[in-house]
Amino acid sequence: MIECTKCGACCVAPDISALGKAVGVRCPHLTGENLCAIYEDRPQICRDHKADEICDAIEAPTLEERVAKYLALFDLTNEVGRLPRVR
């Protein structure tokens, strides 16, 4: 089991359709300490997310570097700012 480092990359890099958050855009509920301001009321998609091997693959000293690595890993660099796709 991979331990969450609370880096905040999962709250920036992917889209979060339940929040209308676009790819590569910081979640409005992510605090300056990279913690969720609505943790107790966060959407189910956020509740279901668990740290995994991707967290290890994007390890970097800063949140910005982690997000860049995530976007590159999934070839999403050109998708930054786009709203979530209907799934």
**DSSP one-letter string for the chain:** -PPP---SGGGTSS-BGGGTBPTT---TTB-TTS-BTTGGG--HHHHH----HHHHHT--SSHHHHHHHHHHHTT-GGGTTPPPPP-
pTM: 0.88
**How many CA within 13 A on the CB side of residue 8?**
20
Whole-number average pLDDT of the chain: 93
1-29 pLDDT, tens per residue? Answer: 889 999 999 999 999 988 999 999 999 99
Predicted pLDDT at 30: 97
Average pLDDT over residues 63-82: 94
**Confidence label for 86 from pLDDT (cuts 50, 70 and 90):** low
